[in-house]
Amino acid sequence: MDALHGLPTHEKLKQAFRLEAGTVQRYLYFARIADIEGFPDVAQTFRNLAESGICNAQGNLDFLKRVGDPDTDLPIGETDLNLTAAISATILEQTESYPLMAKVAKEEGLLDIANWFETMTRTKKVHEQKLKKALAQLAAVRQEEPK
Amino acid sequence: MSTASTPPAAREETEETPSPARPRTDRYDASSITVLSGLEAVRQNPGMYIGSTDLAGLHHLVYELVDNAIDESQAGYCQRISVTLWADGSCAVEDDGRGIPVDLHPLEGRPACEVVLTKLHAGGKFKRQSYQYTAGLHGVGLSCLNALSEWLVLEVWRDGFHYRQPYAAGQVAGELAKIGPSDRRGTRITFRPDPRIFGAGLALSAPTLVSRLRELSFLNPGLHIRLLDQGSGEEREFQYDSGIAGFLRHLNQDAKVLHPQPLALRLAQPGVDIEVVMQWTAGYGENILSYVNSINTVHGGTHLSGLKNALTRTVNRYASEIGILKAENGEHISTFDILEGLTAVLSVRMETPSFEGQTKTRVTNPELKTMIDEGVSGALLAALRADSRLAAQVVARALDASRARLAARRASERIRIQSVDTRVSKEVYQRQFGIRSQNWHQSAVWIANHALLAEHVQHLPSGHYPRMLDVCCGSGVVGASFKGRVGTTFGLDLTPEMIALARTRLDHLSQGTVYQLPFRDNTFDLVVNREVLHLLPNPERPVDEIFRVLKPGGLFIVGQILPFGPEDAAWMYRVFKKKQPLIFNMFQEDDFRELLLGAGLVDLTMSEYRLWESIDVWIDTHETTNLHRHEIRELFYQAPQEVREVHPFEILPTGEIRDLWRWCVFSARKP
Ligand SMILES: Nc1ncnc2c1ncn2[C@@H]1O[C@H](COP(=O)(O)OP(=O)(O)O)[C@@H](O)[C@H]1O
Ligand SMILES: [Mg+2]
């Protein structure tokens, strides 16, 4: 186990990863609006910064890779590990995260948002299947490799 | 985990003798480096040159030829262009320009026309001597077209002779021949798109060409363009002297315009000539067409952002000048609100346009932005100051749009709070459906499409149906389509506007909510409904109500647009929610089945229909804000691969989006 594991800095890296990943998405969203409003220069600034954001987010993953997937804490690094972690994450999302979100939204009477979360649950099921298929194909390729 | 993989280096060591089964040709040395001649490269990767090999790409071939003739006309040498579609799928484009030069090219030692047809990057537009303003530039149009044609015949009339040369798949298939003397001048190229590239099923279509040819004739006043479809025998001619002002009138022919006289202005600088015409309508869509040297810049660019900037700045400035807007309090009319309902044509002619990408859909010259921004701001401000009536209309229109946008937002906020007790407020629906558009239902083809309605009726087994209820009947078209098969037709809707419309179609109308139907138990033999349940919070409640008012054995027939699968559901959710903020559910097929079965209905059947519809029409309603319209288009342009795999839609060369609806009609019976 890497020394980083479980330290407060480990938590901070996860937090930094989420911050940067979130920044990328927000900037891309803002860029589109700037484009529509007719401010291509602003849009370009947002896009350029989003590009840096991708680099920054992945910089956190460079460290996190030593201790595990920020979402599932499962080991990541090589493709079969990454697929396995991604599959667990989709399962977690469809069985816990999104159903809980949908429940909260429903309780608050925000039924359109609840339906949006439910839609996500279904999407994640499909993603789980696709990732599992990729993992099976990877295993099959490995089988064929000369010993 | 990682042990399953062997590093490639280790693997090679164990493989001492190459397997004899493996041919030696997999050596990787100089012989493995393929040098494709220019034209083979085009055939291998046509998309890079013409955008795609679908219908859009196919028509692009014709546009390359037409663009060349237009360039000839912009240079002042061509008055007539004629396009002929032949029944065998070939097409001829002819002009009365100077004719492609036929004399020997000094470096290539071949006739110049053969060089431009067989060599990439050969042309007369690199230097600005023969042409000043051009659509072409890179000298790839003709050679690509030739490479992608099964056969092609070039004819040139010039210097007293008629010349002819055949080609096959881009290769010379015979020497350039003098057919005989002639005093004509011009070029004709006849070609048949290669079915190996475009697929045998695709064909050039006259209606697709019409809109581009019409647009070109508006952009080039005086030019005569003819389109002849030998298949149907139909002939169209286009010649307009009215220029883009006429184009604007054509675009607005069915629209209710806010001011009779369009705003028109012209800006000129050495090497750049800009014309703009603008007119606001009472519609909701924004229709701004922009061109550079007659190329339709579908994705805009610096010229368009200059125009938008100028409009925003000037309308805001004028509105605060006359005291309608308190700019010092931070009041501001947004670009969206100003562009709402605007129809405009912006045509730029310039010597050195620079474009992004091969298909030239976005122009990037920075000087255009400043020139247009400043020029349009000045002229527009002067026009507004000079004509206070016009100014009042333009400003009021924009303020109206901004208020409607706020109202729409507030409406969706209100309904959230009220949805706790699952009641839909009547005012909210009225605000959404009632105020500004009496015929919102016309924006959606699936509501009024007769073929589809007929299919809907097909679900009704023959029998005796004394009473039918169209629930949330809107204008009543759905219920009315069952007339003749049922006895008395009842309709129910929340808003008086819709009820007034439905009165012409149904026998009895009631105003009320579907959460509490104003009818006794076991009243109806048939209840019909279309595309409403997704708008209702807690849809199981209205379905329970429908169950209640059905007679035992009575039938519920309900149509609903559904996503193709979970893959496109989230994307469709976003598209629909932007189209209409009141959406509450994006049902998937099994959700919808469960909804019906959950109420106790039985004998559930479903049929599926597919229906193409233009998104632009679908979103042209006041419930869709201008920003949302743009965002919906973006969602299509940028649709994820996962969505594209299951959900068919097409983006036409004009940027228009056509979507395929999956329209599902369910029928179920009360036991
Ligand atoms: N209809 C025409 N009349 C006269 N010259 C033409 C015509 N079409 C093409 N040409 C000549 O052939 C050249 C090559 O055309 P093309 O391959 O379409 O490239 P581009 O239009 O980008 O220059 C043009 O630059 C022009 O010199
Ligand atoms: Mg050309």
In a domain, B2, yes or no: no
> Do both B35 and B90 map to the same domain?
yes
> Do both B248 and B219 map to the same domain?
no
Question: Is the fold of A8-64 the same as that of A79-144?
Answer: yes
Q: So what's the pLDDT on residue B324?
A: 81
Would the CB atoms of A146 and B11 count as touching at under 8 Å? yes
Q: Which helix (H) or strand (E) holds B479?
A: helix B477-480
The interface predicted TM-score of the complex, written ipTM, equals 0.90
Q: Which residues are registered as beta bridge partners of B245?
A: none
% of chain B surpassing 70 pLDDT: 85
* Protein residues with CB under 6 Å of any ligand 1 atom: B 64, 68-69, 72, 95, 97-98, 100, 116, 123-125, 136-143, 187
Q: So what's the pLDDT on residue B285?
A: 75
Higher pLDDT, B394 or B14: B394
CB-CB contact of A9 with B307 (8 Å): no
Overall average pLDDT of the B392-398 stretch:
84
User: Strands B342-350 and B467-471: what pairing?
Assistant: unpaired
Q: CATH homologous superfamily for A8-64?
A: Ferritin, core subunit, four-helix bundle (1.20.1260.10)
> Do both B306 and B439 map to the same domain?
no
> Do both B188 and B252 map to the same domain?
no
In a domain, B412, yes or no: no
Nearest CB neighbour to A111, from listed B11, B584, B588: B584
Q: So what's the pLDDT on residue A74?
A: 94
> Do both B469 and B558 map to the same domain?
yes
Domain ranges of chain A: 8-64, 79-144
Whether residue B435 is predicted with pLDDT greater than 80 in this model: the reply is: no
Greatest C-alpha distance within chain A: 60
**CATH number of the CATH domain containing B121:** 3.30.565.10
Q: So what's the pLDDT on residue B428?
A: 41
Q: So what's the pLDDT on residue B53?
A: 83
Instruction: Give, to the nearest 10 degrees, the angle between helix A111-144 and helix B566-579.
Output: 150
**Phi, psi at residue B338, to the nearest 5°?**
-70, -35
Nearest protein CA to atom 14 of ligand 1, as residue: B123
Instruction: Give, to the nearest 10 degrees, the angle between helix B206-219 and helix B243-251.
Output: 140
> Do both B230 and B278 map to the same domain?
no
Nearest CB neighbour to B416, from listed A32, A39, A110: A110
pLDDT, tens only, B632-643: 988 998 899 999
**CATH number of the CATH domain containing B335:** 3.30.230.10
Would the CB atoms of A80 and B634 count as touching at under 8 Å? no
The pLDDT-based confidence of B239 (bands split at 50, 70, 90) is very high
Q: Whole-angstrom Cα distance, residue B75 to residue B73?
A: 5
pLDDT, tens only, B261-286: 899 999 999 989 999 999 998 877 78
Most confident of A59-73, B320-334, B433-447: A59-73
Whether residue B306 is predicted with pLDDT greater than 80 in this model: the reply is: yes
Q: Whole-angstrom Cα distance, residue A81 to residue B392?
A: 65
Interface of B with A in 201-230 (CB under 8 A): none
Q: So what's the pLDDT on residue B12?
A: 39
> Do both B158 and B198 map to the same domain?
yes
Q: So what's the pLDDT on residue A105?
A: 94
Q: So what's the pLDDT on residue B580?
A: 82
In a domain, B407, yes or no: no
Chain A partners of B334 at a C-beta cutoff of 8 Å? Answer: 37
Would the CB atoms of B566 and A123 count as touching at under 8 Å? yes
Whether residue B412 is predicted with pLDDT greater than 80 in this model: the reply is: no
Nearest CB neighbour to B566, from listed A32, A75, A126: A126
Nearest protein CA to atom 23 of ligand 1, as residue: B139
Most confident of B109-118, B120-129, B404-413, B611-620: B109-118
Q: Whole-angstrom Cα distance, residue B402 to residue B607?
A: 42
Ligand 1 mutation target, pool B79, B115, B116, most atoms within 8 A of CB: B116
Nearest CB neighbour to A120, from listed B304, B305, B570: B570
Would the CB atoms of B419 and A111 count as touching at under 8 Å? yes
Overall average pLDDT of the B570-590 stretch:
91
Q: Which residues of A touch B (CB under 8 A)?
A: 32-33, 36-40, 75, 78, 80-81, 108-112, 115-116, 119-120, 122-123, 125-126, 139, 142, 145-146
B324 has a chain A CB within 8 A of its CB: no
Residue range(s) defining the domain that contains residue B638: 431-669
> Do both B648 and B627 map to the same domain?
yes
CB-CB contact of A89 with A71 (8 Å): yes
Alpha helices in chain A (DSSP H): 8-37, 40-64, 79-92, 98-107, 111-144
Higher pLDDT, B430 or B642: B642
B577 has a chain A CB within 8 A of its CB: yes
Quickly tell me which residue has 């995260």 as its tokens. Answer: A97
Ligand 1 mutation target, pool B68, B71, B154, most atoms within 8 A of CB: B68
> B202 alpha carbon to ligand 1 midpoint, in Å?
26
Whether residue B646 is predicted with pLDDT greater than 60 in this model: the reply is: yes
In a domain, B137, yes or no: yes
- The nearest CA of chain B is from the CA of A104 a distance in Å of 13
CB-CB contact of B314 with B381 (8 Å): yes
**Listed residue (B469, B596, B615) closest to B529, CA to CA:** B469
Kindly report the average pLDDT of chain B as a whole number: 84
> Do both B262 and B353 map to the same domain?
yes
In a domain, B461, yes or no: yes
In a domain, B529, yes or no: yes
- Work out the burial of residue B566: count CB atoms within 10 Å of its CB; fewer than 13 is exposed, 13-18 middle, 19 or more buried: buried
Q: So what's the pLDDT on residue B243?
A: 94
Counting as low any pLDDT under 70, the low residues of chain A are: 1, 145-147
Would the CB atoms of A145 and B5 count as touching at under 8 Å? yes
Structural domain tally of chain B? 3
In a domain, B106, yes or no: yes
Domain end, chosen from B203, B236, B269, is at B236
Question: What torsion do the CA atoms of B204, B208, B212, B214 make, to the nearest 10 degrees?
Answer: 110
Q: Whole-angstrom Cα distance, residue B580 to residue B569?
A: 16
> B62 alpha carbon to ligand 1 midpoint, in Å?
13
pLDDT, tens only, B75-91: 899 999 999 999 999 99
> B536 alpha carbon to ligand 1 midpoint, in Å?
59
The tokens for B441 are: 């239902």
Give the E-state strand segments of B441-545 in sequence order: 467-471, 488-493, 508-511, 524-530
Would the CB atoms of A40 and B570 count as touching at under 8 Å? no
- CATH (one of 3.40.50.300, 1.20.1260.10, 1.10.287.110, 3.40.1410.10) for A79-144: 1.20.1260.10
Least confident of A105-109, B187-191, B197-201, B412-416: B412-416
Most confident of A77-81, B8-12, B448-452, B530-534: A77-81
> B582 alpha carbon to ligand 2 midpoint, in Å?
49
Overall average pLDDT of the B410-438 stretch:
39
Chain B partners of A115 at a C-beta cutoff of 8 Å? Answer: 573, 584-586
Would the CB atoms of A36 and B538 count as touching at under 8 Å? no
The pLDDT-based confidence of B565 (bands split at 50, 70, 90) is very high
Greatest C-alpha distance within chain B: 93
DSSP-derived 3-state class of residue B236: strand
Q: So what's the pLDDT on residue B448?
A: 54
Ligand 1 mutation target, pool B77, B82, B100, most atoms within 8 A of CB: B100
> Do both B341 and B199 map to the same domain?
no
pLDDT, tens only, B4-55: 333 333 333 333 444 444 444 566 777 666 666 678 888 888 877 777 788 8
B316 has a chain A CB within 8 A of its CB: no
Which atom of ligand 1 is the closest one to the Cα of B187? 1
Return the amino acid letter for B312.
T
Q: So what's the pLDDT on residue B20?
A: 45
Which atom of ligand 1 is the closest one to the Cα of B144? 17
Q: So what's the pLDDT on residue A53?
A: 95
> B221 alpha carbon to ligand 1 midpoint, in Å?
21
pLDDT, tens only, B150-185: 999 999 999 999 999 999 999 999 999 999 999 999
In a domain, B336, yes or no: yes
Nearest protein CA to atom 13 of ligand 1, as residue: B123
Q: So what's the pLDDT on residue A17?
A: 97
Nearest protein CA to atom 27 of ligand 1, as residue: B124
